[in-house]
A = this chain, B = another copy of it.
Amino acid sequence: MSETFSYDTYLSPFTWRYGSDDMKRIWSLEYKRKLWRQIWVALAEAQRQVGLVTVEQVEDLRAHQNDINIARAHEFEKDLKHDLMAEVHTYAEQCKIGGGIIHLGATSMDIEDNADALRIRDALNIVINKLAELLNLLSDKIEIEAEHVCMAFTHLQPAEPTTIGYRLAFIAQDLLEDYKTIVRVRDNIRGKGIKGAVGTSASYSELLHDTELTPRELETLVMQAIDLPPFEIAHQTYPRRQDWDVLNALAGFAMTAYKFAFDLRLLQSPPFGEWGEPFGTKQIGSSAMPFKRNPINAENMNSLARYIAALPRVAWDNAAHSLLERTLDDSGNRRAVLPDAFLATDELLKRMKRLLEGLRVDEFGIQQNLEKYGIFAATERVLMEAGRNGRNRQELHEIIRKHSMTAWAAMREGKPNPLADLIANDERITAFVASAKIPELLRADDHIGDAPERARNMVKSIREIV
């Protein structure tokens, strides 16, 4: 088996294109095996306390703890067809003194599964830090844009005004939920513990039967050494629902990021013309169309988020089919699904940061949309005012609806919006709202309720938590 790989074979985009180096290192084989050895050392150290293993043996193991040699391990694996046992042989070969006691009493999963829990936690920590950064960035943006009025769109149709800050605060609220979820999942990460082949600790009971240590105490020693709480109950592996919780937490963030990116793609579309993603001065939009300014970061986020969304289901299947005391139908896909999900998430975090930092707000487009569509929204004020003066709400709604349809028809032919006139000249309306008051009522730009205040409240919540 080759030890280096290049572009003449398949390289996953998560190897060379997406994700940070830190995140990739966590999902490297080398790091995994360092964690394995760390656990073997911790196990030996615990066993030393009751004399099952000598100080010299532990020292020998510790001395070679980081001498990962994957090429050698792959040689062993060819015969053994068991990657962890191949690593035991590789490690043992390096440790003349301690080699024989590596893995004493253990089952593969006492090592592998705890290591997996550790690297999932490491990976979650990266995500959490970057999310915190994102939330702070977003908070700054919200504060700046809290009162910046723009049209809101429902059904992709102009609705009423809102503020950019409020719109971002919606994203921030979801993002804060993601943050809290991922922190909770991180805090709840547990290892299988040191429980042997089927989780009963039977082999350790045997091993320790005339020592002063119970299997549970041995487990506590080892798990404290690696700083990982164990599940109370485990079969051969930790309960696979933990993977599902982890992937769901990432898929939740992917969902938030997806909406943000899609909104940006719409708002960057020139007919909308309100937002823009930062663009390198030499960046090529299209090889055929030199004028293109494509929202490629936002599009990429949608693309990767969609992939992440497909992955929790694989974990669900793994957990649901982990029959009796475990089956191995989880193993193959976990090698791809876990790292891919984290690396795709990592890329989303990077791109979302880039977009937030460089987000372009196009004042002209914003004002133009407000001018064109705001007056429709402002009819709600007339509706409210007349309602307060006793006008039947349902009837008035119908009157304004008809005038609006006339107005839209005019605008679709390029004519100016006639709505203000239609309203000001309708006696069924002016009987309840003074004509003179109508122009003032039809100004949309301060029809934003308490959006700024609520946006700022969201920032406060974020600053308290993150």
Q: Is the CB of A305 within 8 A of B327?
A: no
Interface size on A, residues (CB 8 A): 212
Q: Is the CB of A263 within 8 A of B339?
A: no
Residues of chain A in range 430-466 having any CB-CB distance to chain B below 8 Å: 447-451, 454-455, 457-458, 461
Interface contacts beyond A160-B203, A170-B239: sample of 10 additional A-B pairs, CB < 8 Å, sorted by A: A4-B4, A154-B198, A154-B235, A159-B236, A162-B235, A174-B241, A202-B451, A259-B320, A291-B401, A307-B333
Q: Is the CB of A215 within 8 A of B450?
A: yes
Contacts of A327 in B (CB 8 A): 154-156, 265, 299
Q: Is the CB of A199 within 8 A of B11?
A: no
Interchain residue pairs A-B with the least CB separation, the first 3: A291-B404, A303-B332, A12-B12
Q: Which residue of B lies closest to A390 (CB)?
A: B100
Q: Which residue of B lies closest to A153 (CB)?
A: B324
Q: Is the CB of A11 within 8 A of B16?
A: no
Decide yes or no whether A49 CB sits under 8 A from chain B: no
Min Cβ gap A306→B in Å is: 5
Question: Would you give the 0/1 interface string for A386-405, flagging 1 where the beta carbon is closer than 8 Å to chain B?
Answer: 01100011100110110011
Given contacts A252-B244, A287-B84, contact A270 B239 (CB under 8 A): no
Given contacts A233-B454, A251-B316, contact A287 B108 (CB under 8 A): yes
Q: Which residue of B lies closest to A258 (CB)?
A: B320
Decide yes or no whether A6 CB sits under 8 A from chain B: yes
Decide yes or no whether A161 CB sits under 8 A from chain B: yes
Given contacts A233-B458, A450-B200, contact A19 B14 (CB under 8 A): no
Contacts of A30 in B (CB 8 A): 7-8
Q: Is the CB of B328 within 8 A of A155?
A: yes
A-B contact pairs, 14 of them (CB 8 A): A7-B70, A10-B19, A11-B12, A101-B387, A101-B393, A102-B393, A153-B269, A157-B294, A167-B325, A241-B252, A265-B327, A290-B383, A299-B329, A310-B313
Question: Would you give the 0/1 interface string for A266-300, flagging 1 where the beta carbon is closer than 8 Å to chain B?
Answer: 11111111001000101111111111111110011
Q: Is the CB of B290 within 8 A of A404?
A: yes
Decide yes or no whether A213 CB sits under 8 A from chain B: no
Measured between alpha carbons, how far is A154 from B294 in the docked complex, in Å? 8
Measured between alpha carbons, how far is A152 from B316 in the docked complex, in Å? 23
Q: Which of A124-132, A133-141, A362-370 contacts B (4 or more CB under 8 A)?
A: A362-370
Given contacts A215-B450, A369-B271, contact A291 B206 (CB under 8 A): no
Q: Is the CB of B268 within 8 A of A205?
A: no
Measured between alpha carbons, how far is A10 from B251 in the docked complex, in Å? 21
Q: Is the CB of A259 within 8 A of B319?
A: yes
Contact of A398 among B161, B236, B290 (CB under 8 A): B290
Q: Which residue of B lies closest to A280 (CB)?
A: B81
Decide yes or no whether A79 CB sits under 8 A from chain B: yes
Contact of A336 among B254, B307, B321 (CB under 8 A): B307
Q: Is the CB of A12 within 8 A of B9?
A: no
Q: Is the CB of B412 within 8 A of A157?
A: no
Decide yes or no whether A420 CB sits under 8 A from chain B: no
Decide yes or no whether A166 CB sits under 8 A from chain B: yes
Residues of chain A in range 104-128 having any CB-CB distance to chain B below 8 Å: 104-108
Decide yes or no whether A183 CB sits under 8 A from chain B: no
Decide yes or no whether A144 CB sits under 8 A from chain B: no
Q: Is the CB of B9 within 8 A of A25?
A: yes
Measured between alpha carbons, how far is A367 from B112 in the docked complex, in Å? 32
Contacts of A362 in B (CB 8 A): 412
Measured between alpha carbons, how far is A328 from B268 in the docked complex, in Å? 14
Q: Is the CB of A332 within 8 A of B156?
A: no
Measured between alpha carbons, how far is A312 from B383 in the docked complex, in Å? 39
Min Cβ gap A393→B in Å is: 6
Decide yes or no whether A256 CB sits under 8 A from chain B: yes
Measured between alpha carbons, how far is A12 from B27 in the docked complex, in Å? 9
Decide yes or no whether A60 CB sits under 8 A from chain B: no
Decide yes or no whether A103 CB sits under 8 A from chain B: yes
Min Cβ gap A7→B in Å is: 4
Contacts of A85 in B (CB 8 A): 284, 287
Q: Which residue of B lies closest to A3 (CB)?
A: B6
Measured between alpha carbons, how far is A79 from B280 in the docked complex, in Å? 8
Decide yes or no whether A97 CB sits under 8 A from chain B: no
Measured between alpha carbons, how far is A276 from B262 in the docked complex, in Å? 22
